[in-house]
């Protein structure tokens, strides 16, 4: 299996390259940059890869399709809108970590991403690759979900699918490490600003909200909206989504617990904690797991769900590799047998 990767210099691209290097079914990895760029040694672009003599080549669709079996885009929003057309036309396998093809309505994309949207005809080829609920097999263009969306949807899926909560009562308080903002320099991610500090940002305006709503309304069309708050944590990696909702009349703690256990019983990378335990970020950072914990308050009729992931793995590169494994029929855990970062 020969893989192509565009965007190795970003955080998600770096992690994806590392995962592909240890994948038992991947023989070669070719790295590509902009089509108008000059060839560049990887070690010049990412000094951490000392001793790796791989070159980053200018992107050429014909070269990729003649020599590779799949292409990953770990690029910023707006890039694959410009570059994907030849691959879509040829039904060539694409796994896109950006947000360009996640939303089915181009007007919604333009509203939230403030960029031109892909054509409707191109969006029709896109598969939203939330792995636990949509198998990538048979879909040549896979839109990898966003990190906040992954943590939030996995936390809400049993509640929405089984109609266990009041549809207009969902509140999500989501928090992320600074790597979620990417490598681009910004005042908000400067060490002096993030250290010993908490910062709310994009409250009810985060670009992952529409993909969360798009999926929630597939599960329960009665859900009109969610309250969604995002906070920047003074850490490098990890997302914690703390989710609150009013339970539907008559729903019990046992029903809630059974809903989560049944939903994820066959899914290797989602772990439901027992006995009302709530997860911490340290349990998942460095792994592809999503850990879920829930607690029900019968006095306020409110269920609390805590969902934690590593934003660069389950929230990006790890889920991309899960989609890769599904598409090609490889073992679900291939390339993803990772250990938590301890201490």
Helix locations, the chain, DSSP H: 11-21, 42-45, 61-67, 79-83, 85-89, 106-113, 120-123, 147-161, 191-194, 209-219, 253-264, 318-328
Among all chains, which residue has been given the structure tokens 């360009």?
A: 100
- In whole angstroms, give the CA distance from residue 98 to residue 76: 6
Residue 45 tokens read as 């672009």
Alpha helices in 114-233 (DSSP H): 120-123, 147-161, 191-194, 209-219
Under a CB-based contact definition with an 8 Å cutoff, are residues 315 and 152 in contact?
no
Write out the DSSP string of 110-145: HHHH-SPPPPHHHHTTEEE--GGGS--TT-SEEEPP
68 is catalytic: no
Could you tell me which residues come within 8 angstroms of residue 210 by beta carbon, excluding any fewer than 6 positions away? Answer: 103, 108, 109, 111, 112
User: What is the DSSP secondary structure assignment for residue 189, as one 8-state letter?
Assistant: G
**DSSP H helical ranges for 220-294:** 253-264
- Helix (H) / strand (E) element for 55: namely strand 55-58
* Angle at CA of residue 205, ends 207 and 112, nearest 5°: 45
Contact predicate 246/301, CB 8 Å: yes
**Whether the Cβ atoms of residue 95 and residue 72 lie closer than 8 Å to each other:** yes
Contacts of 96 (CB under 8 A, 6+ apart): 72, 73, 80, 84, 141, 142, 143, 144
Q: Give the DSSP H/E element, type plus range, for residue 320.
A: helix 318-328
Which of these is catalytic: 26, 64, 147, 164? Answer: 147
Catalytic residues: 147
């Amino acid at each position: 299996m020969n893989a192509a990767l565009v965007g190795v210099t970003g955080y998600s691209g770096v992690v994806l390259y590392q995962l592909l290097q240890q994948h038992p079914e991947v023989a070669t990895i070719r790295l590509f940059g902009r089509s108008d760029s000059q060839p560049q040694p990887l070690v010049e672009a990412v000094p951490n890869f000392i001793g790796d003599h791989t070159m980053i080549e200018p992107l050429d669709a014909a070269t990729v399709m003649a020599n590779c079996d799949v292409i990953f885009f770990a690029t910023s929003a707006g890039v694959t809108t410009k570059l994907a057309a030849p691959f879509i036309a040829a039904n060539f396998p694409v796994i896109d970590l950006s947000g360009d093809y996640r939303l089915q309505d181009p007007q919604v994309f333009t509203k939230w991403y403030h960029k031109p949207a892909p054509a409707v005809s191109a969006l029709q080829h896109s598969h939203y690759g939330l792995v636990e609920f949509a198998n990538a097999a048979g879909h040549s263009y896979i839109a990898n979900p966003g990190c906040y969306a992954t943590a939030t949807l996995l936390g809400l899926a049993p509640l929405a699918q089984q109609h266990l909560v009041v549809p207009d009562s969902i509140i999500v308080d989501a928090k992320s490490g600074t790597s979620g903002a990417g490598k681009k320099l910004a005042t908000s991610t400067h060490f002096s600003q993030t250290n010993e500090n908490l910062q709310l940002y994009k409250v009810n305006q985060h670009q992952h909200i529409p993909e969360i709503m798009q999926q929630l309304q597939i599960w329960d069309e009665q859900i009109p909206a969610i309250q969604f708050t995002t906070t920047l944590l003074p850490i490098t990696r990890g997302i914690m989504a703390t989710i609150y909702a009013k339970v539907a009349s008559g729903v019990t703690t046992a029903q809630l617990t059974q809903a989560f256990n049944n939903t994820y019983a066959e899914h290797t990378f989602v772990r439901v904690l027992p006995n009302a335990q709530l997860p911490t970020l340290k349990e998942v950072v460095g792994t592809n797991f999503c850990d879920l914990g829930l607690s029900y308050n019968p006095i306020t009729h409110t269920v609390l769900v805590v969902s934690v992931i590593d934003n660069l793995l389950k929230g990006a590169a790890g889920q991309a590799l899960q989609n890769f494994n599904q598409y090609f029929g490889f073992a679900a855990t291939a390339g993803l047998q990772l250990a938590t970062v301890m201490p």
